[in-house]
């Protein structure tokens, strides 16, 4: 008689994390690879809130380069517009299957008066989300945006580690 082996149950938090973020992304540190996907849907009722989240200098390129989903397990598309001459970039986060824009994060990069980028950390200064979906709160959207940066883009915020 063959013995049966049983697998321990998968904790709910693991399943929930997978359903939100999908598989871990592979960050790009060399060239921008993400652009606005075909069929991307704009927010119906954009609402914004200030934010003060520092992105270490060593991680900025990951945010600016974004992420293009390649398979079903990739649940996010992330692309960036900018930075402009004032050093402002906007990171757009969309669900890969539906094209829904779930959030946009304004990022201030350090620049000289003439627009030349300087060394130094960047700062997330504002988050925008769709208030047309009443289920989403400011806190939920900030947590989601930070989670996408950590899990999909591989960003390590100051004093934190990226673990799955």
What is the pLDDT at residue 161?
45
| Domain contains 82 | yes
What is the pLDDT at residue 4?
67
| Domain contains 36 | no
> How many domains does the chain fold into?
1
* CATH code, domain with 113: 3.30.530
What is the pLDDT at residue 84?
92
**Three-point CA angle 127, 131, 135, nearest 5°:** 105
**Segments of the chain with pLDDT less than 70:** 1-5, 7-34, 159-164
| Domain contains 10 | no
What is the pLDDT at residue 112?
93
| Domain contains 135 | yes
| Domain contains 9 | no
| Domain contains 66 | yes
Q: Which residues of 50-76 are buried (b: 16+ CB within 10 A; e: fewer)?
A: ebebebeeebbbbbbbbbbbeeeebbb
Residue 19's nearest CA partner among 149, 157, 144 is: 144
| Domain contains 76 | yes
- Measured in whole angstroms, the distance separating CA 63 from the mean position of its chain's CA atoms is 8
Spatial distance between the Cα atoms of 147 and 52, rounded to a whole number of angstroms: 16
Domain that holds residue 113: 41-151
Handedness of CA 31, 82, 64, 35 (dihedral sign): negative
| Domain contains 50 | yes
């Amino acid at each position: 008689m063959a013995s049966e082996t049983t697998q321990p149950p998968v904790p709910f938090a693991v399943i929930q994390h997978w359903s939100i973020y999908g598989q871990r992304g592979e960050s790009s540190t060399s060239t921008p690879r993400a652009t606005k996907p075909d069929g991307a849907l704009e927010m119906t009722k954009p609402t914004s809130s200030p934010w003060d989240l520092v992105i270490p200098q060593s991680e900025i390129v990951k945010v600016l380069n974004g992420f293009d989903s390649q398979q079903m397990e990739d649940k996010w598309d992330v692309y960036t517009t900018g930075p402009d001459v004032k050093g402002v970039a906007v990171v757009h986060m969309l669900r890969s299957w539906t094209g829904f824009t779930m959030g946009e994060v304004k990022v201030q990069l350090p620049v000289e008066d003439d627009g030349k980028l300087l060394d130094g950390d960047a700062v997330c200064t504002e988050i925008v989300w769709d208030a047309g979906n009443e289920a989403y709160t400011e806190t939920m959207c900030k947590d989601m945006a930070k989670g996408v940066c950590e899990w999909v883009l591989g960003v390590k915020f100051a004093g934190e580690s990226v673990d799955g």
